Amino acid sequence: VEQLGSVYIVSNFATHSIEEIAAAAPKARKWFQLSIFKDRNISAAFVRRADVAGFEAIVLSVDISVVGKRRDNRRKQFALADDIEIFSLPKTNFSISKKESSAVHVDEILDQSVTWKDLKWLRSITKLPIILKGIMCPEDAKLAIEYGARAIFVSNHGGRQLDSVLPTIQALPAIVKAVSGRCEIYVDGGVSTGADVFKALALGAKMVFVGRPILWGLSVDGQKGVKRVLEILRDELDSTMALSGTPEVTDIYRKNLVHRPHLGRHGRHGRNGICTLV
């Protein structure tokens, strides 16, 4: 990520500490993804640590105060491996049984009554820009701006929180229209090719983020695998731009797409197949 100039978002449930990650890639662009804990002191401590470690922004998750019913995880009895710990959190506040789903513990420690007032509270304890992640409708986008969000992150949590949720590529245009240039808009969910990135940019996203492809690359070949995935995405984006007659990213507009509602898959897969390149 550091070598290619991308942005890396670190979760407060990361398996390495904020400080370790910052030290490993001091020149990388890093944002910190925060949840609101029942114990506000934990959230506030995370924000302070992220600021000291040189993180550029706080990405506030607003779609995980309640963990979704992840049936696949339950059927397969998915749990963290014995040698993996959540080092970011104080052990007294978060202890995962290897035989149980972490969802049980997350529900215990995250505040399930978060409101817009909590965004005001977060603004009061940091000067870092706050990005709201998990916005999926125009009304919430408008409120996010009203309450001081510096950017909006259109995200459905990879379709893992609620099956049949609207794919982000479908939610994006209405949110872009509602925001009307008042802040930047980012998007993730179902992005697996450079053409997907092109479509999201054409529909008004300022930046496009990926999750699963990075993990696939990491699983196959570690750091080299991650770099290779990013290189593939960039190469595919370059190729799509060239074949669409858009030499610069700023030349990518909605006119490059044709909307066909019946293409693509919906629900948890979150695929971005509703748009065809012209």
Task: List the catalytic residue out of 16, 105, 157, 259.
Answer: 157
**Is 157 annotated as catalytic?**
yes
Which residue has 């114990």 as its token pair?
39
Q: Are 188 and 200 in contact (CB under 8 A)?
A: no
CA distances from 58 to 119, 161, 256, 259 (A): 11, 21, 33, 34
Closest CA to 154 of 175, 180, 135: 135
Phi, psi of 109 (to 5 degrees): -105, -20
Distant-in-sequence, close-in-space partners of 60: CB < 8 Å, separation ≥ 6 = 33, 34, 35, 36, 119, 122, 130, 131, 132, 133
| Gap between the Cα atoms of 92 and 199, Å rounded | 44
Catalytic residues: 157
